[in-house]
C-alpha cells in the first residue's frame, strides 16, 4: 500500500480549538416540509432494499439497491438512476455486465453499501464483501476502475461502508470491520487514517456512515454499534460525541447513515429506531422524522394493476403505518435544502425540504453563542 504525503490539512478545528458552543447556525430555523416519495416497491424495476443515494451534478440521483431479486442465484446490487421529481427513471445504469469492466471480476458488485459523487460527476461506491471502492462515470454509467486492498492494516479495507469526499476531493472511507476511517486520493492512494475498536470516546465499533461537515471541515461518523455519532478532525482527533444508546429523544439504536447540510446541521439515520434524527451543530437534538410517505404515481399505478389490493386497503383500519420509516439506512443532502432519507425497509426514498431563513452577520446575536445549552 503506497502512502502519499498528506496535503496541507484543510481541517479548521483541532481538539484544542473546537468549541461546539461556538457553532451558531447562520439561519433562523423554521422546520422541515415533507415533499415527496421516490421509488416505491415494484414487481420489476423500482427500488428494492435501497441503501444509499447520491446526487449527480446533472441532477440525477443514483440509488444503490441491495436486495437480491427472486431467482438471482448470485447476489448483486442494482443501481437505479431516478430524477428528483420521479419523472425520470433508469435501471442498472451503472453496472455493465461486460465482466471485464466489472470491478470485482464477477458479473456484479455483490454488496454495494454507500456512494458519493464528486464535482466532476464520478460516482464512488463501496462494496463490503469485495473490499473495493469502485468508480463510475455518472453521466454514462461506464466503469472507471476500482481500488482497495483487503486487510486489517492502515489503508487496507475490511468491509468498507461509508464514503465521503472532502473539499479537496479526497475520499474518506469507513473500514468497518477494522473500526477505522481511511483517507485516500481519488485514485486510491492512501493518505492517512485513524480509529480503533472500543467504546471509549474516540474509539469505534463497526462504524457505518461518514460525512464531511462543510462548515467546520470535520468528519462526522456513525459509530453504529456504539449507538452514537462522533465528530473527528481530519487528523483523527475526537471533537464531539453526539447521542447515546436508547430510543428517547436524541438517543440512537444502531445509527447507520449521517449527513451534514450547509448550515452544519447533522442528520442521522437512526436505523433500528425506524427514524431519522437531526442535531444542530452543537450536537443538540432538534427534531426527529418518523416518515410521511405518500403514494406517488408509481405506487398508484402498481396498485391499480391489482384491484384486490385496492379493496384490501379499504378494509385496513389504520393506514398510518404506511407512511413510516422502516430501517432508514442513509441520509443525503440534496440541492435547495432537500434532504433525502433512504427508507430501506420500505423500498423508497422520502424527500423533505429544510425551511429556514438565512441570517446576516448582523442578525446573529453574539450573546446567544455561548449560552449553555443545558439552560436553554
Partner 1 sequence: MVDEDRRLIAHLLRRAGFGAGPSAIDAAAAVGYRATVDDLLDTERHERPHEDLLERFHSEHCDEESPRWVALKWVYRMINSDRPLEEKTALMWHGVFATGWAKVTNGQMMAEQYEMLRDFGLGDYRVLLKKLSRNPAMIYWLDQQMNHADAVNENYGRELLELFSMGRGNYTEEDVRSCARAFSGWTMTHVLPRYPTGYWPAEFVYRGDDHDDGEKSFLGETGNFNGDDVIDIIVRQPATGRFVAREIYQFFVADEIDDDAVEQIADSYFASGYEMREILRFVFNSDFFKAALFKRVKSPIEFIVGTVRLTGQHRNAHQFGLDRLAKLSGMMGQELLNPPTVEGWHTGREWIDSAFLVERLNFATEKLSDADAPGIIEIARRISDGRSSITRDGLLDLCTGEFVHLDLDVATRRVIADELSSPEIIQCGGDELVAALTEILALIGTSKEYQLA
Q: Which stretch binds partner 1 (CB under 8 A): 2-10, 162-170, 212-220, 317-325?
A: 317-325
Nearer to partner 1, 70 or 368 (CB): 70
Please report whether residue 316 would count as binding partner 1 according to CB under 8 A.
yes
Q: Provide the 10 A C-beta neighbour count for residue 33.
A: 12
Structural Rg of the chain based on CA atoms: 20
CB 321 within 8 A of CB 313: no
Please report whether residue 107 would count as binding partner 1 according to CB under 8 A.
no
Nearer to partner 1, 177 or 356 (CB): 177
CA-based torsion, 179, 185, 186, 187: positive or negative: negative
Please report whether residue 326 would count as binding partner 1 according to CB under 8 A.
yes
φ/ψ bin of 100: left (φ > 0), alpha (ψ from -120 to 50), beta (otherwise): alpha
What character string, x for contact with partner 1 (CB under 8 A) and - otherwise, covers 335-354?
---------xxxxx------
Q: Read off the DSSP letter of residue 247.
A: S
**DSSP reduced 3-state for 314:** helix
Least distance (Å) between residue 175 CB and partner 1: 13
What character string, x for contact with partner 1 (CB under 8 A) and - otherwise, covers 182-201?
--------------------
Binder to partner 1 among 12, 29, 129, 353 (CB under 8 A)?
129
Nearer to partner 1, 62 or 347 (CB): 347
Q: Read off the DSSP letter of residue 220.
A: E
Please report whether residue 312 would count as binding partner 1 according to CB under 8 A.
yes
- Residue of 164, 165, 163 lying closest to 112 (CA atoms): 163
Binder to partner 1 among 18, 61, 111, 218 (CB under 8 A)?
111
Q: Which of residues 42-61 bind partner 1 (CB under 8 A)?
A: 42, 48-49, 51
CB 122 within 8 A of CB 136: yes
Render 109-178 in DSSP notation, one character per residue.
-S-EEEEEE-TT-EEEEEETTTTEEEEEETTT--EEEEE--BSSSTT-BSSEEEEEE-TT--EEEEEGGG
Please report whether residue 376 would count as binding partner 1 according to CB under 8 A.
no
Nearer to partner 1, 140 or 306 (CB): 306
Phi, psi at 358, each rounded to 5°: -65, 145
| Helix ranges (DSSP H) in the chain | 297-304, 307-315, 366-369
- The CA distance from 71 to 134, in Å, is 26
Least distance (Å) between residue 144 CB and partner 1: 24
**In the β-sheet with 348-358, what is the strand arrangement from edge to edge?**
27-39, 348-358, 338-343, 328-333
Q: Which of residues 225-264 bind partner 1 (CB under 8 A)?
A: 225, 254
Separation of CA 92 from chain center: 20
Q: Which of residues 13-42 bind partner 1 (CB under 8 A)?
A: 40-42
Please report whether residue 68 would count as binding partner 1 according to CB under 8 A.
yes
Please report whether residue 307 would count as binding partner 1 according to CB under 8 A.
no
For partner 1, how many residues bind (rule: CB under 8 A)? 50
Please report whether residue 298 would count as binding partner 1 according to CB under 8 A.
yes
Please report whether residue 101 would count as binding partner 1 according to CB under 8 A.
no
Please report whether residue 299 would count as binding partner 1 according to CB under 8 A.
yes
Q: Which residues bind partner 1 (CB under 8 A)?
A: 40-42, 48-49, 51, 66-68, 73, 75, 77, 110-111, 128-129, 159, 177, 206, 208, 224-225, 254, 272, 293, 295, 298-299, 302-303, 306, 308-310, 312-313, 315-317, 319, 321-322, 326-327, 329, 344-348
Amino acid at each position: 500500500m503506497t502512502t502519499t504525503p498528506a496535503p496541507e490539512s484543510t481541517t479548521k478545528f483541532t481538539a484544542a480549538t473546537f468549541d461546539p458552543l461556538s457553532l451558531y447556525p447562520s439561519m433562523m430555523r423554521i422546520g422541515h416540509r415533507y415533499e415527496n416519495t421516490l421509488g416505491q416497491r415494484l414487481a420489476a424495476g423500482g427500488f428494492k432494499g435501497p441503501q444509499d443515494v447520491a446526487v449527480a451534478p446533472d441532477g440525477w440521483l443514483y440509488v444503490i439497491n441491495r436486495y437480491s431479486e427472486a431467482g438471482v442465484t448470485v447476489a448483486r446490487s442494482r443501481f437505479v438512476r431516478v430524477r428528483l421529481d420521479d419523472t425520470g427513471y433508469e435501471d442498472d445504469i451503472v453496472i455493465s455486465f461486460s465482466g471485464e469492466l466489472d470491478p470485482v471480476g464477477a458479473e456484479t458488485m455483490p454488496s454495494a453499501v454507500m456512494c458519493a459523487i464528486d464535482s466532476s460527476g464520478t460516482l464512488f461506491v463501496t462494496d463490503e464483501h469485495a473490499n473495493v471502492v469502485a468508480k463510475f462515470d455518472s453521466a454514462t454509467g461506464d466503469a472507471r476502475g476500482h481500488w482497495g486492498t483487503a486487510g486489517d492494516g492502515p489503508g487496507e479495507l475490511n468491509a468498507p461502508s461509508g464514503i465521503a469526499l472532502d473539499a479537496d476531493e479526497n475520499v474518506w472511507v469507513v473500514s468497518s470491520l477494522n473500526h477505522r476511517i481511511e483517507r485516500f486520493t481519488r485514485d486510491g492512494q492512501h493518505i492517512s487514517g485513524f480509529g480503533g475498536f472500543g467504546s471509549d470516546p474516540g474509539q469505534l465499533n463497526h462504524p457505518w456512515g461518514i460525512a464531511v461537515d462543510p462548515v467546520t471541515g470535520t468528519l462526522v461518523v456513525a459509530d453504529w454499534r456504539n449507538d452514537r455519532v462522533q465528530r473527528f478532525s481530519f487528523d483523527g482527533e475526537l471533537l464531539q460525541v453526539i447521542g447515546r444508546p436508547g430510543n428517547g429523544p436524541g438517543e440512537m439504536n444502531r445509527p447507520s447513515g449521517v449527513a451534514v447540510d450547509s448550515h452544519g446541521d447533522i442528520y442521522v439515520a437512526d436505523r433500528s429506531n425506524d427514524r431519522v434524527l437531526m442535531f444542530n451543530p452543537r450536537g443538540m437534538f432538534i427534531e426527529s422524522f418518523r416518515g410521511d410517505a405518500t403514494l406517488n404515481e408509481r405506487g398508484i399505478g402498481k396498485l391499480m394493476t391489482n384491484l384486490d389490493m385496492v379493496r384490501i386497503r379499504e378494509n385496513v383500519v389504520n393506514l398510518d403505518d404506511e407512511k413510516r420509516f422502516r430501517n432508514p439506512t442513509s441520509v443525503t443532502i440534496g440541492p435547495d435544502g432537500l434532504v433525502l432519507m433512504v427508507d430501506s425497509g420500505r423500498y423508497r426514498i422520502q424527500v423533505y425540504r429544510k425551511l429556514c431563513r438565512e441570517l446576516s452577520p448582523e442578525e446573529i446575536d453574539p450573546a446567544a453563542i455561548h449560552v449553555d445549552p443545558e439552560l436553554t
